[in-house]
Amino acid sequence: MINDTLQHYRMFIGGEWVEAASGEHFPSDNPYTGQPWALIPRGGAADAARAVEAAHQALTRGEWPKLNATKRGALLRKLGDLITEHSKALAETEVRDNGKLYAEMSAQTAYMAQWYYYFGGLADKIEGSVIPIDKPDTFNYTRHEPLGVVAMIIPWNSPLLLLAWKLAPALAAGNTVVVKPSEYTSASALEFMKLIEQAGFPPGVVNVVTGFGAEVGMPLVEHPRVAKVAFTGSDTTGQRIYEAAAKGLKRVSMELGGKSPNIVFDDAHLDNAVKGVISGIFAATGQTCIAGSRLLVQQSIHDRFVDQLVALAKTAKMGNPMNLDTQVGPVTNPPQFEKILGYIAIAKGEGATAVLGGERASRPECGNGWFVEPTIFTGVNNSMRIAQEEVFGPVLSVIPFKDEDEAIAIGNDVVFGLAAGVWTQNMRRAFTMAERLQAGTVWVNTYRAVSYLSPFGGYKRSGIGRESGQDMIYEYLQTKSVWISTASEVPNPFVMR
């Protein structure tokens, strides 16, 4: 299986391209062909420690701590320009490794530059304040300082974009970083390091270690010099990382899973709602944290809406994700493929009816890839596992409701709270639903929109902290209060000032 035709990658530590301490590698597969295409170094605790040490060195000496915020911002904007220039090549690497559509990934890698421009612009606008302090002869002010070394643990679904959400603000704030990409999609982060080099970031400011979660991810989280862990991935892994971070009293930010309701009222523009439901669950083959995996549809239009939905979903073109007209690509990795098929079996066992799909795809255009047919289950009740657990695949559960109160009750009755969609033409309903849904993002008459300008994150088990938007830079800063006395004499030393 491992042969000379595979592209051979190295890790990026302290500005150098290095092998794992063990010298070992593992293959990374192309989900469309089902074949390995690259060799990735299999990092371990020694590599994590080496990368953290490089990041610590870069934080405490050399050029980086001496750069003023304006110059840090300029580096980030230069990186943004390089991303713009190389976005197509980055997208090709993403597609080869995670199987998502080139049409989507090329738009995503181009748009990703905005995070670096935005936080680059923000870098020198983080101002402390002078406090009108209530003590005589005292000057008190605040400084916002970097946290230190930040570990970033990234999943496979949108590797570079999810890294950008963390890396741009962390660097703007003056931190140094060690990135651990997913073992299924490590190549794009390594390709991206070429742009970090080219932009002129000093060695050690950004490092990438590759390998498996337990082998290199956990030692990174546990390393005493890591100040914060920024994670996107599953809630179970998030919980494990949170527990380990707690031992070191480290900060965390977590973007975890979802079981988001996409709620269609009978007063909605139904053609638009059908498209919105499709984009929520079949785009990206359902492999997104914000997947609208529960369709809540008002009883009065249930049958009509499901017919319309099935009719459109049926036309989805599957196949090679590099082809611009492909609409549903493969699943990224074999365990995920098995997990999706497992949930389809669970749903059937629970008595749900597959009105579309419900099996692996064996269309000729799907070749040997890991494809699952777009699947729609009706007859789902919200207490079934298929309605409660994250599938992370093209599997939609349809649940009827009778009125707003019931839509809210069902919509909120999950452990997650990442996102929600509402389809209605009634303005009062739009606002009240947006208020009552327990989710970090609510979309009305749209779905799956994100921006560098707007905060993103989860309620409940969907996460801790927010990404994007101005305020989130403070998740990578800590505040220092500085007291300066102008008194000519130190008063009674035995009482508090």
Residue 256 makes contact with ligand NAI by CB under 6 A: yes
Residue 153 interacts, among Mg ion, ligand NAI, none and using kind-specific CB cut-offs from 5 to 8 Å, with ligand NAI
Residue 336 makes contact with ligand NAI by CB under 6 A: yes
Question: Which residue from 78, 143, 339, 436 is in contact with ligand NAI, where contact means CB under 6 A?
Answer: 339
Contacts of 159 (CB under 8 A, 6+ apart): 94, 97, 98, 181, 182, 185, 188, 189
Question: Which residue from 257, 261, 292, 321 is in contact with ligand NAI, where contact means CB under 6 A?
Answer: 257
Strand, helix or coil for residue 444: strand
Decide: 437 and 422 in contact? Cβ < 8 Å. yes
Nearest 5°: the CA angle 396, 403, 385 is 30
Q: Token pair of 218, please? A: 């956990």
Question: Which residue from 47, 53, 94, 97 is in contact with Mg ion, where contact means CB under 5 A?
Answer: 97
CB of 338 to ligand NAI, least distance (A): 10
Q: Which residue is nearest to ligand NAI (CB)?
A: 213
* Catalytic one of 53, 104, 215, 289: 289
Residue 305 makes contact with Mg ion by CB under 5 A: no
Please provide residue 118's backbone torsions phi and psi, each rounded to the nearest 5 degrees. -65, -50
Give 176's strand partners: 149
Nearest 5°: the CA angle 327, 430, 257 is 50
Residue 241 makes contact with ligand NAI by CB under 6 A: yes
| Complex with ligand NAI: residue 306 or 372, whichever CB lies closer | 372
Decide: 225 and 358 in contact? Cβ < 8 Å. no
The CA-to-CA distance between both ends of the chain, in Å, stands at: 71
Residue 28 makes contact with Mg ion by CB under 5 A: yes
**DSSP-derived secondary structure for 125-178:** G----EE--SSTTEEEEEEEEE-SEEEEE--SSSHHHHHHHHHHHHHHTT-EEE
Size of site (CB under 6 A) for ligand NAI: 28
Residue 287 makes contact with Mg ion by CB under 5 A: no
**CB count, 10 Å around CB of 125?**
12
Residue 436 interacts, among ligand NAI, Mg ion, none and using kind-specific CB cut-offs from 5 to 8 Å, with none
With 0-12 / 13-18 / 19 or more C-beta atoms within 10 angstroms meaning exposed / middle / buried, residue 45 is middle
Give 230's strand partners: 152, 253
Residue 237 interacts, among Mg ion, ligand NAI, none and using kind-specific CB cut-offs from 5 to 8 Å, with ligand NAI
Residue at token pair 């059937």: 348
Residue 180 makes contact with ligand NAI by CB under 6 A: yes
Residue 217 makes contact with ligand NAI by CB under 6 A: yes
Cα separation of 3 and 465, whole Å? 43
**Residue 239 identity:** Q
Residue 28 interacts, among ligand NAI, Mg ion, none and using kind-specific CB cut-offs from 5 to 8 Å, with Mg ion
Residue 108 makes contact with Mg ion by CB under 5 A: no
Residue 9 makes contact with Mg ion by CB under 5 A: no
Residue 214 makes contact with ligand NAI by CB under 6 A: yes
Residue 339 interacts, among ligand NAI, Mg ion, none and using kind-specific CB cut-offs from 5 to 8 Å, with ligand NAI
Element (H, E) at 386: helix 385-388
DSSP state of 460: E
Mark whether 366 is an active-site residue: no
Residue 449 makes contact with ligand NAI by CB under 6 A: no
Residue 183 makes contact with Mg ion by CB under 5 A: no
**Residue 479 identity:** T
**Chain residues 138-177 in contact with ligand NAI, contact rule CB under 6 A:** 153-157
Q: Select the span of 93-101, 170-178, 204-212, 434-442 touching Mg ion (CB under 5 A).
A: 93-101
**CB count, 10 Å around CB of 133?**
12
Q: Which residue is nearest to Mg ion (CB)?
A: 97
Mark whether 222 is an active-site residue: no
Q: Select the span of 28-36, 114-122, 438-446, 475-483 touching Mg ion (CB under 5 A).
A: 28-36
Residue 83 makes contact with ligand NAI by CB under 6 A: no
Nearest to 211, CA basis, from 3, 370, 28? 28
Sign of CA dihedral 164, 166, 169, 172: negative
Strand, helix or coil for residue 241: helix
Residue 155 interacts, among ligand NAI, Mg ion, none and using kind-specific CB cut-offs from 5 to 8 Å, with ligand NAI
Residue 466 interacts, among Mg ion, ligand NAI, none and using kind-specific CB cut-offs from 5 to 8 Å, with none
| Complex with ligand NAI: residue 334 or 349, whichever CB lies closer | 334
| Complex with Mg ion: residue 53 or 97, whichever CB lies closer | 97
| Complex with ligand NAI: residue 290 or 296, whichever CB lies closer | 290
Nearest to 154, CA basis, from 106, 94, 195? 94
* Interacting residues toward Mg ion by CB under 5 A: 28-29, 97, 184
Q: Which residues are known to be catalytic?
A: 255, 289
* Interacting residues toward ligand NAI by CB under 6 A: 153-157, 180, 182-183, 212-214, 217-218, 221, 232-234, 237, 240-241, 255-257, 289, 336, 339, 390, 392
